[in-house]
Structure 1
Amino acid sequence: MDLTTDRVRTVTWADQQAFAAAAELTGLEFLKAMARGDVPPAPMMDLIGLRLVAAAEGETVFRLLPGEFHFNPMWTVHGGVYATMLDSAAACAVHTTLPAGARFSTLDLSIRLLKAIRADTGEITVTGRVVHQGRNFAVAEARLEDSAGKLLATATAGCSITRPR
């Protein structure tokens, strides 16, 4: 990372009307379309540079290349970025299990930060997996790792599910 460059970040995002059409898709179809680029990412993903790279039944994988705009005053990635990544992976893993028209919301998120992410950490990957699936509630776990597979953080999320009538 060249720290002598201008520090400017411009964020753009797609018209979220594309999400309305996606309501006809199952959660897995929707997230696979997002991973392919057929559906735009959520604006929060654009804001922090988070990319959905894979989705399967009960599992999602996201990646992010940390930059200094993610840093806190200790010059490490802010805990809020960890939380956003972990919540995205866990909650979207739940989304992959839902039928068309169903919605979900994270009810709680418990995170454990194990290692600082610094400028030289390189690309990081977060994987979310469903560990319990009920009709109206699901639990998923997420693991955040560096490119060598070193564990950086973990999380457990509980999600409320609203199914179509």
Structure 2
Amino acid sequence: MRRSRTIQWEDPAVSAEAVGEHSGLQFLREILAGRLPAAPIAATLGFSLEEAEAGRVVFVLVPGEEHYNPIGSVHGGVYATLLDSAAGCAVQSVLPQGMGYTSIDLALKFLRPVTVDTGKVRAIGTILSKGRRTALAQAELRDSEDRLLAHATSSCMLFPVPSP
């Protein structure tokens, strides 16, 4: 049985150009409201931003077969992408206008398998510490019964971004 999936995304340059126009939280809320396009990786994997507040963000995904590894469960790279996105955007949510971030590292632990039977999962990112040049965040992947599926920590480098 063959399966197929069609993916559409918007021009990522639109959001990239808008980063310097907003505080980090305003930027995320513009994406949440649909006024700025989400990252193309969100369309590729099928996840979306569901909540954004200062120091905390939530991404959601309903796992499908397209996320599977060859042994019949969601690939660790999908976990990693969700957790990296949540941790990084938690950092983004506390940045002032004119500042951006990039991940320096990501350390994660897989605790439970995820399959299509798991249902919707939430990647919850929170900031732990923010300095002038770096920030530390964590992210948890949880199922609908609030069981912890995976955990990650991420260090991020902070830097100025150009304003238009």
Q: Give the shorter-chain TM-score range.
A: over 0.9
Deviation at 1:21, TM superposition (A): 3.1
| Pairwise CA RMSD | 1.3
Is the 8 Å Cα contact of residues 132 and 158 (structure 2) preserved in structure 1? yes
- The answer on 1:52 being equivalent to 2:49 is yes
Change in Cα spacing, 1:99 to 1:160, as seen in structure 2 (3 Å) is same
Matched AA of 2:152: A
- Of the three residues 7, 11, 14, the one matched with 2:10 is 14
1:29 aligns to what?
Answer: 26
1:160 to 136, 157, 161: 157
Q: Give ranges in structure 2 of 5+ residues lacking alignment.
A: none
| Structure 2 CA distance for partners of 1:164 and 1:119, relative to 1, 3 Å | closer
Q: How many angstroms apart in 2 are the aligned matches of 1:17 and 1:79?
A: 28
Identity percentage of aligned residues: 42
CA distance in 1 between partners of 2:117 and 2:107 (Å): 27
1:101 and 2:83 correspond: no
CA distance in 1, matches of 2:69, 2:61: 17
User: Which stretches in structure 1 are left out of the alignment for 5+ residues?
Assistant: none
- TM-score by length of structure 1 reads 0.93
TM-score, normalising length from structure 2?
0.94
**In the alignment, does 2:140 pair up with 1:143?**
yes
Query: Does residue 119 of structure 1 match 2:116?
Result: yes
Moved over 6 A (4+): none
Is 1:64 equivalent to 2:61 in the alignment? yes
Deviation of 1:145 after TM superposition, in Å, equals 0.3
Tell me how many residue pairs correspond in the alignment: 161
Query: How far 1:135 moved relative to its partner?
Result: 0.7
In 1, the alpha carbon distance for the partners of 2:160 and 2:132 equals 8
- SS where residue 120 of structure 1 aligns? helix
